[in-house]
Amino acid sequence: MGLSTGCERLDELLGGGVPDRRSLLVSGPPGTGKTTLGMQFLQAGLDDGEDCLFVSTEQTIDELADTFEPYPFDLEAEGLTVITVHCEPGDTMERDDDLVVRTLEGGDRAVTEWFDLPFTRENVVHYLSEYGPRDRILLDSLSGLRPIAADEISFWRSTYDLIRLFSDTFDATSLLTAEDRNTGDSVASELLRYATHGVVELSWDERANQRHRFLRVEKLRGRDHDTRRHKLVFGESGVTVQPTQRTPPSALLAHDHLSTGVDALDDLLGGGLVRGGFTLLSHDGTTGYYTINTRMLASALDAGMAVAVALPAAVSLSQLDRYWTDADWTVADLLDDDRLFVLELVESNGCDHRNVLSYDDEQRDWDRLMELSYERSGDRPLFALVDTEPLLERVSRERVRAVRYRAAARYTEEDDVVVYTINPAVQDTALVEFLVDTSNQTIRIERGDDGIEWLTLRKSPTGSPGTSKVVAYDETPPYVDLV
């Protein structure tokens, strides 16, 4: 269960709003909108009749009123209590830094000043404990409480005590703001990230000499949340997050999909591979990408399609059988039934069958494979999987362009699917860019220095472009998953 932030898209990024009775840290440099975002969270609660508390450590009541003047926020709402907790010189005998508290409750604009106390964790927690229970709390900002402790560890403990007060004693859901690690106390900022349940990062970016605000959900325990960066827009209605979608609305697209055979990959692609289109799978030569390819082939066969495959040098026909141990067919059965057509690139793969072609010197390999599939597959839709690396060692990039367009025009129809695989590190840059540019979907698989494989959806008319997932392999079919 989650509480709305007052911004529908941000609620979606958080996987359903701010988790109930948990704390969320909003971090960012000055001017990125942390306080405004926090007040919008409180206003959403006020609109639902909830009791809210705003604790400000850096601005006075009048300054807050000026800050929120452009927005539809009500600092005098019946369910809202606003207090300021400042570290200022005082008259206590113990020390020079004292706690001065001013409170504004409901619509009463009379300001009450509390007696001076040393600015300590115990005193701050004791004072704030008078204001529970609450449904929502905004503490803006933790950076203003930094003098509460002599060192970073003590500051972390103080913050943790406040979070426990809000979550456990008040049963409240809280937003806490703080300067980011680059503009504030970096050690303290890192510790705050461990103390809170989730972290939302706000940032600036320059584009064409203009500054833009951005938001990213960096961490949220126990939730499958969106980690991509989004634009923050401030308007008369408050804070909104753009884009609400990374692809055009599905009603405008009307794409049919073919399942990849991997449920998590289908979800990422918005349904699977686009029928009637061209998908490019890019890899770095170190991954097990062909495991995903074989699941795509198996899914196409399950869907009743014919399959045309240009095999890479490292994969033989017998290996395909090993990938399909969970299927009702074998390579031999598919060849005899005119459902599988193969272009071999290594003689050791040799199979004497009319549907198995080998490389010739006329550079007609792709043409011959597509022609053969088109002539013999009957009325079945076609799934073509072409590993380009071995072919491109022999075929000019001009020839590749010609074949790419001719294959699309002559041999593929609206129910067909074409997938090319390519390794940009060993192939012509202009050619790689051409294939990326003409693809409907582009998937990138690469291995990091730590050995972890990542799959990123770079381009797609549906699904979640820009999203990355960890590739996980298993001993049993479908042998691969995305985490």
Written as six digits, the tokens of 466 are 């820009």
Handedness of CA 366, 369, 375, 377 (dihedral sign): negative
From CA 421, how far away is CA 281, in angstroms rounded? 5
To the nearest 10°, report the CA torsion of 353, 358, 360, 365. Answer: 100
Q: What is the pLDDT of residues 462-475, one digit of tens each?
A: 888 888 889 999 88
Residue 107 banded pLDDT, cuts 50, 70, 90: very low
Q: Report d(CA 439, CA 417) in Å as an integer.
A: 12
Count of residues making up the chain: 483
* pLDDT value of position 252: 52
Q: How far is residue 227's CA from residue 190's CA, in Å, rounded to a whole number? A: 18
> In this predicted structure, what is the pLDDT of residue 456?
94
Query: What crossing angle do the helices spanning 397-406 and 429-438 adopt, rounded to 10°?
Result: 10
Residue 106 has pLDDT above 50, yes or no: no
Structure tokens given for 348: 């050791």
Average pLDDT over residues 16-30: 94
Structure tokens at 107: 């619509």
Q: Give residue-wise pLDDT tens across range 143-163.
A: 888 777 777 788 888 888 899
Above 50 in pLDDT, residue 93? Answer: no
Cβ atoms of 232 and 215 closer than 8 Å: yes
CA separation for the pair 363, 390 (Å, rounded) = 12
pTM for the predicted model, two decimal places = 0.68
Q: Could you read off the pLDDT of 189-241 as tens digits, one per residue?
A: 677 788 889 999 999 988 777 889 999 999 999 888 888 889 999 988 899 99
- Residue 258 identity (one-letter amino acid): L
Reported confidence tier of residue 60, pLDDT bands at 50, 70, 90: confident
Alpha helices in 129-185 (DSSP H): 152-164
For the cut 80, the answer to whether the pLDDT of residue 446 exceeds it is yes
d(CA 378, CA 375): 7
Question: Which of 76, 101, 82 has the alpha carbon at shortest distance from 90?
Answer: 101
Q: Are 132 and 172 in contact (CB under 8 A)?
A: yes
Judge contact between 143 and 133, C-beta under 8 A.
no
Strand partners, 56: 84, 140
- Residue 253: its pLDDT value, please? 58
- Is the predicted pLDDT of residue 357 greater than 70, yes or no? yes
- Beta-ladder partners of 97: 89
How far apart (Å, rounded) are the C-alpha atoms in residues 205 and 331? 53
* 400 vs 83, residue with greater confidence: 83
Under 8 Å between Cβ of 296 and 302? no
C-alpha distances in Å from residue 100, one per residue of 108, 146, 361:
20, 15, 87
Question: Six-digit token pair at 256?
Answer: 């049919």
Q: Among 185-189, 204-208, 327-331, 362-366, where is mean pLDDT lowest?
A: 185-189
Q: Is the peptide bond between 141 and the residue preceding it cis, with omega within 30 degrees of 0?
A: yes
Lookup result for tokens 């409901």: 106
What single letter denotes the amino acid at residue 139?
A: L
Q: What is the mean pLDDT of residues 411-421?
A: 83
Tokens of 127: 């004072």
**pLDDT-derived band at 126, boundaries 50, 70, 90:** confident
Q: Tell me, what's the pLDDT at 203? A: 93
Q: Is 233 helix (H, G, I), strand (E, B) or coil?
A: strand
Q: Which residues contact 108 (CB under 8 A, 6 or more apart)?
A: none
CA nearest 181: which of 138, 210, 218?
A: 218
**Residue 23 reports pLDDT greater than 70:** yes
